[in-house]
Amino acid sequence: MLETISSQPTIFSFDKIVIVGTGLMGTGIAQVAVESGIQQVIVVGRSNDKCEEAKKKVLLGIQKSTKRKMANETQEEQQKYIEAIMKTLKFVCDLEDADLLNADMVIEAVVENLKVKQKLFVDLESRVSENCLLVTNTSSFLLEDVSCKLNENRLKNFGGLHFFNPVPAMKLVEVVRGNETLDKVNEALFRFCQKLGKSPVKCADSPGFIVNRLLIPYLADSMRLAESGNASHRDIDAAMRLGTGHPMGPFELMDYIGLDTMKFIMDGWHQRCPDDHRYTPCESLERLVNCGKIGRKVGEGFYRYTTTTNK
């Protein structure tokens, strides 16, 4: 049966949102938020340098999308549009300066470290209003674990929005419902993603949600197949590109994701589910990460990367 979305308006507004984190995810979410018409977006970084760097990334992203969307407009009109959008965006280096009490939503987009995320939400819950939605962008942790140190009454307004990198280009957002998340909160998060121009999907709180739950075992099986000697990683990549229409083969994809990230996710799930063979560490992954060969970002992973070639 197809799920229908109620046409009834939500009681939640998203006039002002706060994003904590100035990495790729934080800046990407900030860009799509201001471009969608959110009245005020505040991004919290760790330092002035991080904030300035993030501001430049967002500005560059907006300039590129504006040139594409307003190709028939003059440069002057494009510039006015960009300046108007940037006025709705603010960067601060401290939670104290984020005006959290008036925030409708706070989105956590910090490093994928459970203790760091837990501490942040404890810091946030005493600073935001009762109706403020607290949201995590975690890709590998259970919402149950991220929110376990929050007061019980806060859990009803807690949920997950798993954006995908690069955020401006990727249409999908996984709207993750915690065990205590209210129906109206889950619906509000879904509608928020639609406002951002995304195509949200709903899922319950479980390891990997939807995409990673299916993707990580596939990538691990690809490594095990290559380790068995039955096929090379190049041939496996070619087979999956040409045979299934995937834009990248599994080894190309892992290099793009980052082998350190891949190992981090697999190790975490293996600890939580030690009897599940799908998450058992892979020898080739362990070896490459230990050697510092963690993918495209350092120039070498399963493949070597230069300025003139991808492999």
Distance CA 127, CA 142 (A): 24
Question: Has 162 been annotated as catalytic?
Answer: yes
Please give the radius of gyration of the chain, using alpha carbons only, rounded to the nearest integer: 21
Q: Which of 108, 112, 140, 162 is catalytic?
A: 162
Q: Which of 73, 212, 246, 284 is catalytic?
A: 212
DSSP state of 243: H
Q: Which of 174, 180, 187, 300 is catalytic?
A: 174
Nearest CA among 226, 280, 279 for reference residue 250: 226
Nearest CA among 302, 199, 184 for reference residue 249: 302
Question: Has 174 been annotated as catalytic?
Answer: yes
Q: Which residues lie closer than 8 Å to 176 by C-beta, 6 or more apart?
A: 143, 159, 160, 161, 162, 203, 204, 205, 209
Distance CA 114, CA 233 (A): 32
DSSP state of 45: -
Distance CA 281, CA 76 (A): 55
Q: Which residue(s) pair with 176 in the sheet?
A: 160, 203
Tokens found for residue 1: 């049966």
Helix (H, G, I), strand (E, B) or coil at 254: helix
- Residue pair 132/104 in contact by the 8 Å Cβ criterion: yes
Distance CA 128, CA 109 (A): 17
Nearest CA among 95, 82, 150, 78 for reference residue 117: 150
Question: Has 212 been annotated as catalytic?
Answer: yes
Q: Which of 35, 112, 139, 140 is catalytic?
A: 139
Distance CA 302, CA 311 (A): 9
DSSP state of 247: S
Q: Give the residue numbers annotated as catalytic, written as ranges.
A: 139, 162, 174, 212
